A and B are shown apart, each in its own frame.
Chain A
Amino acid sequence: MKWETKICINLLAFSVVSFGGEYAVITNKQMKSLTRAEIKAIFLKKMIFVEDVKVVPINLQARNRLRNKFEKELLHMSFTRLKKYWTKEHYLGHRAPLSMKSQASIKAFVTKVDGAVGYIDATNIDKTIKVIYRWRD
């Protein structure tokens, strides 16, 4: 491989790392750390309690860019597949998670409510919340 090609590949890799978005799943400070499988179970309403605290998963609104990334990364499900999942769950007596309009609302909710779990851009992280999972584009 020529040295010019190597430089181009390195520059490209650097730009992806530098400019690709970073995101985080956040909870209230009191919540214990959760595995990826547990986060998935919470957002599919299979796991209702964590250490005796009722968990409240919060989504961004349907078709939101970050929500789509979260569902792909953590749930491994597309928007369409999730719609099917929640239609089936309606028959089984379960409701889809609540959704909020903005990351600011999610962050405020998570700060105040025990058991709340949401996701935001990593740039919005501060000391009021606990990060339990991070991922990049």
Chain B
Amino acid sequence: MYKLIVMVVFFLSYLNAESEYELGSGVQVGSLPLFVGGYLSLDYKMGEDSDTYRLNDIAFLAYGTNSKFSYLGEFEYKNFYTQTYAADKITTHQDRRLYAERLYLEYNHDENYKFKIGKYNSPVGFWNLLPINVLRQTTSNPITSDILFPTFTTGVGISRTSFREYELKVEFMLQNNEDLDDEYNSYEIDEHYGINILYEKDDFSLKLNGGYFHRIETASSDKSLYYFLLSMKYEKEKYQLMGEVGEQFSKERVTTPYAGYIQGLYRLSEEHIASLRVESYDDSVANIKESVGIVAYTYRPLYPIALKSEYQFHSIESKNQFIFSFSVLF
């Protein structure tokens, strides 16, 4: 039933949108403190042994602000339709469940303090905060954002930000319950305690993250895990440099001695963007040590529309692949 409500509100809002509507900015529902929007993504992967076509994300966003409170809900179909060609066989997979990707209420106490409750993107690193295809630089995600920490937190968030000649933010993530919807979290967890320290001055940002989480469904003996991540970003009009590096360990052993990437992006023009990413990681649990080089090109006829292509060179050659995607934010 809630699927129907989400879609009816969504489509009626767009039908009644003012003529000044701009793609990528959502629409307001009447004069209510409610804005709706969404995004979708299609991709094609050509690997060494298989080809995959996928309608990946169809997502709906709703958010608003009223006095000191603001809220956000994001509901999403993931892997909505997937068709794979491998060894002369065609397999299809459909997932028609609407997942609660993010759902939280935020309270702005004053100019420094904010409190948040619900499910939100763990504010770890830079990549994890803009995880949707249309906003990130490449269709693929760096491995750092998948294996080191829980990508989502369901619990409380507390932050203090001070604005001097620079911005300094200290934020705590506190989870002591099961996930609101754990299907697409990188780990199924029932505890997550993390800290995020952000320093930002002009075009330069530096982040330090550390935390602990407890896994509930795992064959591995490493249920209690610790992580840290150091991230930096430097952005100018024409180019951007971004990098993240971290480690994960339990009390018994180092589960991921290192996982990191560095990515450079150059805007040839407003529409044409070239990027290069080098990743490397050592996953002791899966016993994989790998390096990846990614060359990518993105065409954005408008910023909220992205046509992206990338080629991945893996040190494990059978994993080399070409990826093409179309994504849009509305």
Contact = CB atoms under 8 A, between A and B. Distances in A.
A46 B161 contact: yes
A126 B240 CA distance: 42
Given A35-B165, A37-B167, A80-B270, A90 B329 contact: yes
A16 interface: no
Contacts of A80: 237, 270
B237 A49 contact: no
Contacts of A52: 110
Interface stretch (A19-27, A81-89, A101-109): A81-89
Contacts of A46: 161, 163, 167
A46 B166 CA distance: 13
Given A84-B303, A90-B26, A41 B237 contact: no
A3 interface: no
Interface in A10-47: 35-38, 41, 46-47
In which size bucket is the chain A interface?
A: 20 to 34
Contacts of A35: 163-165
Contacts of B110: 49, 51-52
* Interface majority SS (helix, strand, loop, mixed), chain B: loop
Contact of A87 (B61, B163, B304): B304
A76 B237 CA distance: 10
Contacts of B132: 91
Contacts of A83: 303
Interface in B76-91: none
B135 interface: yes
B303 A87 contact: yes
Given A87-B135, A88-B130, A76 B202 contact: yes
Contacts of B287: none
B218 interface: no
In which size bucket is the chain B interface?
A: 20 to 34
Contacts of B111: 47-51
B165 A90 contact: no
A93 B130 contact: no
A65 B26 CA distance: 26
B220 interface: no
A91 B67 contact: no
B163 A38 contact: yes
Contacts of A51: 110-111
B35 A54 contact: no
Nearest to A51: B111
Interface in B107-130: 108, 110-111, 129-130
Nearest to A95: B35
Contacts of B50: none
Residue in B37, B39, B110, B161 whose Cβ sees the most chain A Cβ within 10 Å = B110
Contacts of A86: 25
A36 B166 CA distance: 10
Query: Which 8 A-B residue pairings sit nearest by Cβ, starting from the closest?
Result: A93-B63, A93-B72, A87-B24, A41-B163, A49-B111, A48-B108, A38-B163, A37-B163
Given A50-B111, A87-B303, A90-B329, 8 more contacts: A35-B165, A37-B166, A37-B167, A38-B163, A48-B108, A76-B203, A84-B303, A87-B304
23 contacts: A35-B165, A36-B165, A37-B164, A37-B166, A37-B167, A38-B163, A47-B111, A49-B108, A76-B202, A76-B203, A78-B237, A86-B25, A88-B135, A90-B26, A90-B37, A90-B61, A91-B130, A91-B135, A92-B72, A93-B61, A93-B72, A95-B65, A96-B25
